[in-house]
Structure 1
Amino acid sequence: MLRTPKILTACALAVFATGAAQAQIMDTPASHAVIMDHETGTILYSKNGSEPMIPASMTKMMTAFLVFELIERGEISLTDKFTVSEDAWRRGGFPSGTSTMGLAPGDTPTVEELLHGVIIMSGNDACIVLAQGISGSEEAFARRMTALAHELGMNSANFVNTTGLEGVGHVVSAEDLAKMAKLTIDKYPQYYDWYDMPDYTWREYTQANRNPILSIEGVDGLKTGHLEVSGYGLTASAVRDGVRRTIVINGLDSMAERGREGERMMRMAFQSYDLKVITPESVELPAVKVWLGQQQTVPVSLADKMTIAGHKAALEKAKTEIVLDSALQAPVKSGDTIGTLVVTIEGQSPIEAPIVAEANVKKLGFFGRAVEGLSQLIAGSDG
């Protein structure tokens, strides 16, 4: 009987680790944290990143995104005007004691002005006015936010309001907030520029942008959040030397800690993390043994490109192996998927990619199979 180990061979391939939280390499006081490579959407670092959390005002990224979508669909326009209700004023204006655009009952701001109030001033009143003007109620608009989030693959999201103020079951994961940032940047660059504005004035009331790291190299968005129950959070994105990275942090104890940790995480995102795309042409894999074939081995290659990303310190610990579910037996056709290339590092989830045969291998004739079987029998006896 042929005895073939499932893990066939190790491959010489320089890679970086990816995926789950790499506490042995880096940690953060944030309860939830994510670093994402923007171009590929790859999560470079995650601490409880897929766990639903209370996003506070980072919710407003989704509020604004839905409005962008409705503008694109022609349901509303930037010049449409909505009247500020007393309800919106009481729950989101100055009487609420929360972040506000400074609207008053009876004001008729345009959609564009309200979006500035949401994005730059973090105005709860602006969110409610948009929701009531578009959907009739904040609850109805929040349901549309959740439906759109799920449609876009952000399945952790459940929005019960537009503001991020505390609400039962109002949650979204850090990874999905990073996806939200990517969607905003990629689909609506004309509106994304507003996230970089240093301040905004509605009538006599001026509010500075709350993002504490806007002055750091390359940072051009996005949104802060804070509730007593959630702690201080930040979603931020930056571009350096043509590379964009996005961070999400939440659960910090103070504004000062949010600023320090936001700056540190953004620095780490560029200096300590990397991404490598391995193409079939860029790596030579060892040939795989074929049982009962006219050739003893078959050359193999990656079926498609493979993205490996994570902390640079993981490079020395990374291992690559070709894994077969069972012994490879002739006949083999060029292009057949015959196994998996697995990249592993201690404490991480493995990264896998299929490998394919690069040549045809015909099956031995009857005499050849008999000789091969006898050889295997003798080899087994020696063992």
Structure 2
Amino acid sequence: MDRNWLRRLAILLPVIVTAMAVCGPLKAQSFETDLPRALLLDVQTGTVLFETGADESFEPASLTKIMTAEVLFHEISEGRVSPDQQFHVSEYAWRTGGAPSRSTAMFASVNSDIAVSDLMRGLVVPSGNDAAIVLAEGIAGTETAFSLAMNRRAHDIGLKASNFVNASGLEAADQRTTARDLARLAVHVIETYPDLYKVFAEPEFMWNKIRQRNRNPLLTLNIGADGFLTGYTEAAGFSLVGSAVLDGRRLIAVVSGAKTARDRDQEARKLLDWGLRSFEVRRLFSAGEVIGEALVFGGDKQVVTLVAPADIDVLALRNPDARLTARIVYDGPIAAPIAKGAAIGRLEVLSGSTRMFEAPLETGEAVEQGSLHRRAFDAVYEWATSAVRQAFERLI
């Protein structure tokens, strides 16, 4: 029997459960909320500071307009739409989303022509449903066609649980999203369109002699907030996506399911304030540092080291007793030959049961194909242990 069999099995078992603890015991989150859905994300490190119900599907309501804005910003950045371009206000847009609808509107006049730059402000500042529909029709011809573009862009961005059927967020069957998707979308908008994103911070907008304040309540709370939107449906309750910056750190907060607008606003503020003041940056691993090993199949080495391709920083609670858990995840054993620098795994960092952050891991050296004897032994070994893995997976 190979003298390293026990060592190989010890490496294999963590692979079965896809976890190897490297940073200490679990620690529960220290923020509490009664809201059913909430997520707080640090943009710079990608650390999830808090989440509850983050993958629960709900109706986005006017938060849909963030996706509408993304499509508009994308069209402008690609040169297919100009801010000076004029779009026509159809009767459908006016009646469905304008003054006759008694919903949030920029109060565009029917059969008028409005510059895209003004429609963009009408979309974001007063959360105008009429502006959303006019933009959709101007870009894609119909709101239905525009919704197809919204879903294509959502797929490209990496939204995994969202579906859009209109541009305004007015109630419609099958229009769904999650807090995690909205946070990902918010980060994308900020990082991809930094100049266009500034419209979200404009305090007011006037059209047709009607002055409206920005509907984002966080902008007036002196916490560094600079954008995004609110939403409401009877089924989903009151929701909000907000972004705030303090001392160069940007956080994205998503809350949903509040019973009142006041509850929504207070919980969003508390969440952002807690995140901005309660955390510090911790370096877990430096670039090139060996973090662990992965089992190799059919190679001239039995294991390959896994290293961090870049510094791995996370935000952790300033509490000196706060501890994190990290685990290496990969699908092994890895078949040789293996090139140096191959991306074959990832590091997941957890606080309690919350996955705060993940980073790619690369091989620290090359592994050549082993001898015929080694490959034959590994084939028998893999066959013999596959039953153990399958039995263990059924238990967990």
When the two structures are superposed, what TM-score results if normalisation uses the length of structure 2?
A: 0.75
Measured in 2, the distance between the counterparts of 1:322 and 1:59 equals 36
Quick check: 175-184 or 267-276, which moved more?
267-276
Identify the residue that residue 188 of structure 2 maps to in structure 1: 183
| Structural mapping, 1:342-357, within 5 Å | 346-348=352-354, 354=361
- Give the one of 262, 266, 277 matched to 1:260: 266
Contact 1:324 1:340 in 2 (8 A): yes
Contact 2:108 2:208 in 1 (8 A): no
Identify the residue that residue 139 of structure 1 maps to in structure 2: 144
Quick check: 185-194 or 195-204, which moved more?
185-194
Gaps (5+ residues) in structure 1? Answer: 289-297, 364-383
Identify the residue that residue 227 of structure 1 maps to in structure 2: 233
AA aligned to 1:265 is L
AA aligned to 2:75 is L
Identify the residue that residue 242 of structure 1 maps to in structure 2: 248
Measured in 2, the distance between the counterparts of 1:105 and 1:14 equals 63
The structural deviation recorded for 1:210 is: 0.7
Identify the residue that residue 69 of structure 2 maps to in structure 1: 64
Deviations 1:246-290 (A, max 9, x none): 1111111111111111110111221234553433469687999xx
The structural deviation recorded for 1:29 is: 2.3
Is 1:150 the counterpart of 2:126? The answer is no
| Structural mapping, 1:199-348, within 5 Å | 199-215=204-220, 216-280=222-286, 302-305=307-310, 307=312, 309=314, 312=317, 316-319=322-325, 346-348=352-354
Deviations 1:193-233 (A, max 9, x none): 11111110002111110111112221100111112222111
Say if 1:86 and 1:44 are closer, same or farther in 2 by CA, change over 3 A.
Answer: same
- Give the one of 6, 14, 19 matched to 1:3: 6
Is 1:91 the counterpart of 2:103? The answer is no
- Give the one of 57, 78, 85 matched to 1:80: 85
Say if 1:359 and 1:172 are closer, same or farther in 2 by CA, change over 3 A.
Answer: closer
Say if 1:322 and 1:89 are closer, same or farther in 2 by CA, change over 3 A.
Answer: closer
- Secondary structure at the aligned position of 1:109 is classed as strand
Greater Rg, structure 1 or structure 2?
1
The structural deviation recorded for 1:14 is: 7.4
The structural deviation recorded for 1:341 is: 7.2
Q: State the aligned residue count.
A: 356
- Secondary structure at the aligned position of 1:256 is classed as helix
AA aligned to 1:35 is L
Measured in 1, the distance between the counterparts of 2:218 and 2:89 equals 32
AA aligned to 1:152 is I
The structural deviation recorded for 1:116 is: 0.4
Measured in 2, the distance between the counterparts of 1:74 and 1:87 equals 27
Measured in 2, the distance between the counterparts of 1:194 and 1:276 equals 33
Measured in 2, the distance between the counterparts of 1:102 and 1:325 equals 55
| Structural mapping, 1:102-181, within 5 Å | 102-181=107-186
Identify the residue that residue 366 of structure 1 maps to in structure 2: none
Deviations 1:134-168 (A, max 9, x none): 22211111111111111111122211111111110
Quick check: 185-194 or 245-254, which moved more?
185-194
The structural deviation recorded for 1:50 is: 2.4
Identify the residue that residue 31 of structure 2 maps to in structure 1: 26
The structural deviation recorded for 1:321 is: 7.5
Say if 1:105 and 1:26 are closer, same or farther in 2 by CA, change over 3 A.
Answer: same
Contact 1:31 1:251 in 2 (8 A): yes
Identify the residue that residue 54 of structure 1 maps to in structure 2: 59
Measured in 1, the distance between the counterparts of 2:304 and 2:314 equals 27
The alignment's C-alpha RMSD in Å is 4.3
The structural deviation recorded for 1:129 is: 1.0
Say if 1:44 and 1:106 are closer, same or farther in 2 by CA, change over 3 A.
Answer: same
Say if 1:137 and 1:279 are closer, same or farther in 2 by CA, change over 3 A.
Answer: same
Contact 1:337 1:357 in 2 (8 A): no
Say if 1:340 and 1:255 are closer, same or farther in 2 by CA, change over 3 A.
Answer: closer
- Secondary structure at the aligned position of 1:147 is classed as helix
- Secondary structure at the aligned position of 1:82 is classed as strand
The structural deviation recorded for 1:169 is: 0.4
Measured in 2, the distance between the counterparts of 1:280 and 1:337 equals 17
